[in-house]
Structure 1
Amino acid sequence: MATRYYISLPDGSRARGSDPDLSFTARSGPGFAAELQEALRSDRLFERWRMKQDEPDEVDPSLGATDPEATVHGEQDDLHIDLVVTSTIPGTVLKQRLRLLAGSAWELRDVTAA
């Protein structure tokens, strides 16, 4: 069953993870949405992160979950970005991907059934 997550990036220019190789590079609402959607639909971001771990083979494989049907819509108002994610990805995986992409510069505003 899909879930809808309402996410806020209060300042898009600060929405960057600690590792530039894994971080958002977007500058607009639609750009952030496209990058997050890709991170949910494929395992590329997860695999890049996993290979940077001291023991890549010991990483919990459930963190690599993907949802090829995930959608992310992004809107921008000045510096503020709102993202609406619809996905079957577990919340823990979504949060892990957001921490990689945006660091701590994001807020989960609401969660509803899709």
Structure 2
Amino acid sequence: MTTRYYLTLPDSSRARGGDPALAFTAHSAEGFAEQLQDALRERTLFDRWRLMQPEPDEVDPALGATDPTAQVHGQQQDLHINLVVTSVIPGTVLKHRLRLLAGSHWELRDVTAA
């Protein structure tokens, strides 16, 4: 089932994960959207993170799910950025990718069927 996730980055300058090798590097709404979309469409971010784990082979493979048709749109609103994700990616996978990219500096505002 395709789901639409409504996200906010309240302070884009703080929307960085704990490890710079995995974190957002974007500065614009479009850049954040593009980087999140790539993280949902491809396994690159997940694979880098998995290889950093003490036991990479024990990582739940379900966290590596991808959606080649995922769409992410970003919009600047005053000081925060709104992102709308349309994807079949499960919420747990989306949240994991966001924690890698933005740390705890994001908010899930709403979830609807697409």
TM-score w.r.t. length of structure 1 = 0.99
Q: Does the 8 Å contact 1:13/1:79 carry over to 2?
A: no
Matches within 5 A, 1:13-92: 13-92=13-92
Cα displacement string for residues 47-106 of structure 1 (whole angstroms, at most 9, x for unaligned residues):
000000000000000000000000000001232000000000000000000000000000
Q: Where does structure 1 differ by over 2 angstroms across 4 or more consecutive aligned residues? A: none
Gaps of 5+ in 2: none
Q: What's the counterpart of residue 11 of structure 1?
A: 11
Identity of aligned residues (%): 75
Whole-Å Cα distance in 1 between the matches of residues 5 and 34 of structure 2?
15
Q: Distance in 2 between matches of 1:87 and 1:70?
A: 5
- What letter matches 1:113 in structure 2? A
What TM-score do you get using the length of structure 2 for normalisation?
0.99
Contact (CA 8 Å) 1:43, 1:64: kept in 2 or not?
Answer: yes
Name structure 1 gaps, 5 residues minimum: none
Q: Helix, strand or coil for the counterpart of 1:20?
A: coil
Indicate the SS of the match to 2:105: coil
1:108 corresponds to which letter in structure 2?
L
Q: Distance in 1 between matches of 2:36 and 2:51?
A: 20
The answer to whether the 8 Å contact 1:16/1:105 transfers is yes
Quote the Cα distance in structure 2 between the aligned partners of 1:21 and 1:78.
Answer: 28
